[in-house]
Amino acid sequence: MNKAILFNFTVDKDNKQINVERSFNAPKDMVWKAWTTPEILDQWWAPKPYKTVTKSMNFTEGGQWHYYMAGPQGEQHWCLFDFEKIVPLTSFSGLDAFCDENAVISGTKPRVKWHNEFIDKGDTALVEINIQFDQLEDLETIIEMGFKEGFTAGLENLDQYIESQFKLRKQNKPNNKARVSSYLNFPGNTEEAFRYYKQVFKSDFINGIKRFDEVPADHSHPPMDESVKKMVLHVELPILGGHILMGTDAPKEFGMTVKPGNNMHLNLEPESRVEAKRLFDALSEGGQIEMPIEDTFWGAYYGSCTDKFGINWMINYQNK
């Protein structure tokens, strides 16, 4: 996760376009998902302190992404992206425009053609972005509005999201022996809760408490909020009968919201990939899939779902 980040940003006024090359320390399929899934886009697309909020998204040819960027003073800047061509896991293109909350496009601000190409580089991915303008004045206006700085900050948010998710899901497990644990999410008081549980069960943490400021520093990342640095990234506590209680803080700064219903999962770690797939398919049947089971950038074959009885499950197979 510490490989150098490639970032080239070129303004080509002769052809009225901006070209960007940007690498990410994650496999191509993970980066593709981050660019095409509204729940993840909402966590990184807008430069801080702004936040992206998706109203609707239909990622199909002819579909649209309707969203706004929420400012620190409560202001809303609405945008609409029309998807024109999609080649799964390879590229997508379309028109981006400013609009209002009803998706009515602004007639005073430029509409821009985007083409994003995703290139496999093994355990990293390269995204090549071409942004085409109709008028040179439109390009110059976007640059003057701070597009380069804002887009750069958003891409750095994605770096931080990738690295934090790698840390959040990486389990401290030395072998492939099957294990069941409970995974708890807290809005910022994980340490208080786990110190209480430690007293109740008269046990001790496995490998101590890991905190967000232990995520390796990277010059390309935006500074982590001070309020987040000392939050709990991951903690494990044995309770009864060899059962492990795991926990993490879910910072609102990362676009996470803890509420009754999503604050606890039963975490299953089967001995094989085949068994992981069987368990996921059976538990998700008739329920709701939160994340399809698939290979992830943190090295696990992972999926999560809510079964038809309303119980949350995480299936996590990691080949040691």
Q: Residue 177's domain is classified under what CATH number?
A: 3.10.180.10
Strand pairing report for 264-269 and 288-295: unpaired
Q: Are 34 and 130 contained in the same domain?
A: yes
At 310, is the pLDDT very low, low, confident or very high (cuts 50, 70, 90)? confident
> What is the average pLDDT across 132-138?
93
> What is the average pLDDT across 67-71?
94
Q: Can you give the pLDDT at residue 220?
A: 45
Task: Judge whether 2 lies within some domain.
Answer: no
Distance of alpha carbon 320 from alpha carbon 317, whole angstroms: 9
Q: Are 157 and 236 contained in the same domain?
A: no
Give yes or no for residue 246 having a pLDDT over 80. yes
The reply to whether the predicted model has a pTM over 0.85 is: no
Q: Can you give the pLDDT at residue 198?
A: 92
16, 30 contact by CB (below 8 A) = no
Q: Which of the listed residues 135, 167, 199 is the one where a domain comes to its end?
A: 167
Distance of alpha carbon 145 from alpha carbon 140, whole angstroms: 9
Which residues, including other chains, have CB under 8 Å from residue 288's CB and lie 6 or more apart? 305, 306
Task: Judge whether 245 lies within some domain.
Answer: yes
Domain span at residue 222? 171-317
7, 22 contact by CB (below 8 A) = yes
Q: Can you give the pLDDT at residue 167?
A: 56
At 216, is the pLDDT very low, low, confident or very high (cuts 50, 70, 90)? low
Domain count, the chain: 2
Q: Which of the listed residues 140, 167, 194 is the one where a domain comes to its end?
A: 167
> What is the average pLDDT across 230-240?
89
* Among the listed residues 285, 289, 281, the one whose alpha carbon sits nearest the alpha carbon of residue 305: 289
> What is the average pLDDT across 158-184?
70
Distance of alpha carbon 242 from alpha carbon 229, whole angstroms: 31
Among 143-147, 167-171, 238-242, top mean pLDDT goes to 143-147
160, two tokens: 């931080």
Q: Can you give the pLDDT at residue 275?
A: 92
> What is the average pLDDT across 100-124?
89
Q: Are 190 and 65 contained in the same domain?
A: no
Q: Can you give the pLDDT at residue 219?
A: 46
At 192, is the pLDDT very low, low, confident or very high (cuts 50, 70, 90)? very high
Distance of alpha carbon 214 from alpha carbon 225, whole angstroms: 13
9, 129 contact by CB (below 8 A) = no
